[in-house]
């Protein structure tokens, strides 16, 4: 099986160029596991050149989204049969489908931009109005260390 793979900005792009049968799905999973040393936040799986994709690929996708550090999966050009299989198994709710790789990459850029904006945003309504204070020296003698404790 021929599969084109490329990593860019923590995104793995995979393009299988044949039918994705059980052996091919295992090969895809093995490639991803080999790359586990490299940080991968998302997988863009372009199935537009794959005439068929079997249920073993669903297992690979489920493994990725259910990891302790989940990998976002985006599927491109899936056959109607594979789309129906994803729908039947509920996997469609865990992946994003796009018509082209470029649209998937644009969606990733937008989501990363909005996530970084949310992290920088400060919510004044939920800010604490209380300030922490240390006890006064005169009020709390127990707070201070003393030589008598030896």
How many domains does the chain divide into?
1
Return mean pLDDT, the chain.
Answer: 79
pLDDT number for residue 84? 93
Comparing C-alpha atoms, which of 82, 78, 91, 86 is closest to residue 44?
A: 78
In a domain, 118, yes or no: no
Top-confidence range, 5-19, 27-41, 74-88, 120-134: 74-88
Chain centre distance of CA 13:
14
CATH code of the domain covering residue 77: 3.30.750.24
In a domain, 121, yes or no: no
> What is the rounded CA–CA span in Å between residue 34 and residue 147?
60
Domain membership of residue 84 as a residue range: 1-103
pLDDT bracket for residue 131 (50, 70, 90): very low
């Amino acid at each position: 099986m021929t599969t084109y793979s490329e990593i860019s900005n923590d995104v793995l792009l995979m393009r299988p160029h044949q039918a994705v049968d059980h052996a091919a799905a295992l090969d895809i999973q093995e490639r991803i596991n080999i790359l586990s040393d490299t940080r991968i936040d998302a997988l863009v799986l372009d199935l537009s050149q794959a005439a068929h994709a079997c249920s073993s690929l669903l297992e690979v996708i489920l493994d990725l989204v259910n990891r302790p550090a989940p990998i976002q999966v985006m599927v491109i050009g899936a056959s109607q049969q594979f789309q129906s299989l994803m729908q039947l198994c509920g996997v469609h709710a865990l992946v994003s489908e796009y018509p082209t790789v470029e649209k998937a990459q644009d969606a990733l850029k937008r989501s990363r931009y909005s996530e970084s904006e949310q992290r920088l945003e400060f919510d004044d309504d939920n800010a604490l109005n209380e300030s922490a204070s240390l006890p006064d020296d005169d009020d709390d003698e127990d707070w201070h260390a003393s030589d008598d404790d030896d």
